[in-house]
Every structure is written in C-alpha cells, then in structure tokens.
Amino acid sequence: MIRQFFLFAVISFSAAALPAAPIELTDIALANDAGGTSLSLRLTDIVPQKVFTLSVPARVVIDLPHARIGRGVHAPQAAGIVAAIRTGPRQDGTLRVVIELNSALAAHAHWRAHGSGQELIIDLGQQRRAEAAPDVPPRIVRALHAPLDTDRPIVVAVDAGHGGDDPGAIGHGGTREKDVTLAVARALAQRINAEAGMRAVLTRNRDEFVMLPERMRRAHAANADLFVSVHADSIRDASISGASVYVLSERGATNQAAAWLAERENSADLMAGTFLPGKDPQLQSVLIDLSQTATISNSMVAAERVLAALDRVGEVRKPSVQQAGFVVLKSRSIISMLVETAYISNPQEERRLRTSAQQDKLASAIFSGIRTFFESNPPPGTRFAQLRRTLARSTPVSPSLP
C-alpha cells in the first residue's frame, strides 16, 4: 500500500511538472480611426506579456512567453503610422510581435475578454517629445497603474471558482458549483464591460482546471485593480442558506466555519492531482507574507460594499465580511475578495442558482457593490478618478458656520 501511494505521488508530481500546451495566437488585427491606432492580438488565454519600445527605427515589441502563432494567421497590411508588423518565435519558446512605426510613439497594453479567449490590445499613443534623443535605450512601457492623468479603465479580474477536473460542490439535484460560478462570472463580466470606465478579465472562460496561484497570476498579468472569486457554498445542514463575502486574513480565520471553508477551497489543487506542497518556488512566491495590511484593508471596504448589495437582493448568511486564509486571495497589490453566492447544498437555493434570472441577479448585485466602491475609491489614472475630480471641482463649497 505504501509503495502504491508513493508511485501515485511521483506520477502526479511529474504530470504537474510538465509544461502546459502553448498559448495560441489566433488572430492579429490593426485598427486606425480618429481616436488613434491599436493592434489587437487574440489568444486562447492570458500570458504575462512584456511590451517595450525601441528607436532607430521606431518600433514596439511584444513578447508572449510560451506562445505560438496559429495556423493560417497572418499579420495585417501596414496602415497609418504602422509601417509593418512582423512575428516570429524565439529560442526560449517566446512568440515575438514587432510593430514597425513611421514615428516614435508611446504604447499601452491591456487585456479584455473576447469570445472563449482573450485579447491583448496595444494602443499606440501620442508622439514623444521632439527633445527626446533618437538613440535612447529600450524603454519599458509605463504600467497601466501609473498615476497619470489618463482615462484608463478600472480592470476587474472575475474568477469562476473550480472547473475542469474539480467540479466544486454538488447539490442534491446534481448541480455542479463549477457550472454555476462560470455562469455568474460571465454575467458579471458583461455588466462590468458595459460600464464606461471599467473592463473585465475572466481568469477562466470555459470548463477548465486552473490552479489557485495561476488564477491570481492571470489577474496580475491583466493589471487588475480588483479580483473577485465567485463560488457557491456547501454544508451538511441543507437548511442553511444565504450569501457570504470573504477577504484574506492576516492572523487566522474569523471563526471555525471560515477556517473550514478556506481549507476546503485551498484543497482544490490537491483534489485535481496537481498541487505541489511546499517545494514549488512559483507557488512559494504566491504564498506571500501577509503583512500587506493596506491591500487587505481596502479589500475589506470593497467586500463590505458587495455584501451590502447582496443583502438588498436576497438573504445573506453572515451580516459582516468574514476573513480566512484563502490561497486564491493572496496578493500584495490587488484588492481581492471571495463571494459565496449561495448554498448549493440548500435545495431551494440550488434550484434558483440553476436559473439565468438568479445568476443575473447575483451578478448585478456584485457589480453594484464593486462600482460603488470604485466611485468612492478610484485608482489614480482612471476615468473614475477623472470624474471624481471633476465633481469635486464643480461642487460648491458651503460657507463656514459662525
């Protein structure tokens, strides 16, 4: 018995260590209009891209690690400020895309969901100042989080819990948590994308297994301002119902139930046979020191807004935001929360969770809470921040009372 277990462990480790199939570039499109020029790279999934500019000649370089170009995909014809577009693989497995320009320009990159895949948009901005030296070294594109007076959208990473080999909780009627969470996540992403100044990125847009640290990595790759993980809780007592909202805890769980839930959710990778306990340096980099109190504090405020919105449309299980050590919420910089939309183990709630009407209702409530939070706490450089400054300037100041 011991030998069999050891053999299984070795096989599981080896399979997990094998590299995943390369991400595929499925289309390249160039758009020129009065608003500017942008290049669209459609891929089967998000990759941690590197984008930088070079001069003499002027060009923008996009490196897509562990990616390959799909069969029949060709670069579009040159147009406007774009002189040519070239693609080619590098020895390390990186796919490189080069945009040759007629003049030196700044570039900004962002992700957005597109069908069953993802789309990397490269916006080519205004020409650099004339005094810039023509032979300057390669410039890294300014991060979208930089506090510039721009109108970049607020990016929300929407994470559908479980998926693939991990079905999550299963209700008495056979409803699988992974299906409910994906439906709610898609509905939430639609509402976010319909809001001016906001953009959604799905960590998974199909029935696939994604390791917990990878979900947060995808959020970082998309420069997300907020990460929300959607789940549907389960418990032995079928009479229990209601929604709950969780954030990361620095010093243990709020209560025993929260600790149990976090342990169960954190075991998702182990259940799928791909969790590498303790030794994987990539995983260790995600299990960060929880001293980032500012991020957790902001997460608590955002989660309170979402919980209040859920309370207005239905029952909540816990009247306050709960805390526990969820692996999927561990980030130094991204505001993060986990929403248990309902108890799939409750027959009445399970039946409601199956309907698109309830899924839309939950998505609308979560969206309302997120939007309310960002209206009061807009990230620098976003359209929301511009609007808040405009409102502040236009609001008359009341005279001081005697």
What length does the chain have? 402
Q: What letter does residue 161 receive in the DSSP assignment?
A: -
Residues sharing a CB contact under 8 Å with residue 90, sequence separation 6 or more, in sequence order:
63, 96
Average pLDDT over all residues of the chain? 77
Residue 359 clears pLDDT 50, i.e. is over it: yes
Helix (H) or strand (E) holding 265: helix 256-266
Residue 186 clears pLDDT 90, i.e. is over it: yes
> 197-252, pLDDT tens digit by residue?
999 999 999 999 998 888 988 998 898 999 999 999 888 889 989 999 998 876 54
3 exposure class (CB count in 10 Å sphere: 0-12, 13-18, 19+): exposed
Residues sharing a CB contact under 8 Å with residue 267, sequence separation 6 or more, in sequence order:
275
Helix (H) or strand (E) holding 38: strand 36-43
Do 321 and 338 form a contact (C-beta atoms < 8 A)? Answer: no
Q: Name the residue ranges covered by the structural domains of the chain.
A: 23-127, 154-386
The reported pLDDT for the residue numbered 143 is 40
21 exposure class (CB count in 10 Å sphere: 0-12, 13-18, 19+): exposed
φ, ψ (nearest 5 deg) of residue 126: -75, 155
Number of Cα atoms under 13 Å in the Cβ half of residue 373: 28
Nearest to 120 by CA among 60, 192, 44: 44
Nearest to 233 by CA among 331, 330, 336, 362: 362
Helix (H) or strand (E) holding 247: strand 244-248
Residue 278 clears pLDDT 50, i.e. is over it: no
Q: Of the ranges 109-113, 123-127, 260-264, 315-319, which one carries the lowest mean pLDDT score?
A: 260-264
Do 265 and 355 form a contact (C-beta atoms < 8 A)? Answer: no
Residues sharing a CB contact under 8 Å with residue 222, sequence separation 6 or more, in sequence order:
46, 110, 111, 155, 157, 201
Residue 194's CB: how many other CB atoms inside 10 A? 10
The reported pLDDT for the residue numbered 394 is 54
pLDDT band with cut points at 50, 70 and 90 for residue 34: low
Do 28 and 75 form a contact (C-beta atoms < 8 A)? Answer: yes
Residues sharing a CB contact under 8 Å with residue 157, sequence separation 6 or more, in sequence order:
200, 201, 202, 203, 218, 219, 222, 224, 226, 227, 228, 334
Q: Of the ranges 13-27, 305-319, 327-341, 353-367, which one carries the lowest mean pLDDT score?
A: 13-27
The top-level CATH class assigned to 23-127 is mainly beta
CATH number for the domain formed by residue range(s) 154-386: 3.40.630.40
> What pTM was computed for the model?
0.59
The reported pLDDT for the residue numbered 250 is 63
Task: Taking residues 22-33, report their average pLDDT.
Answer: 87
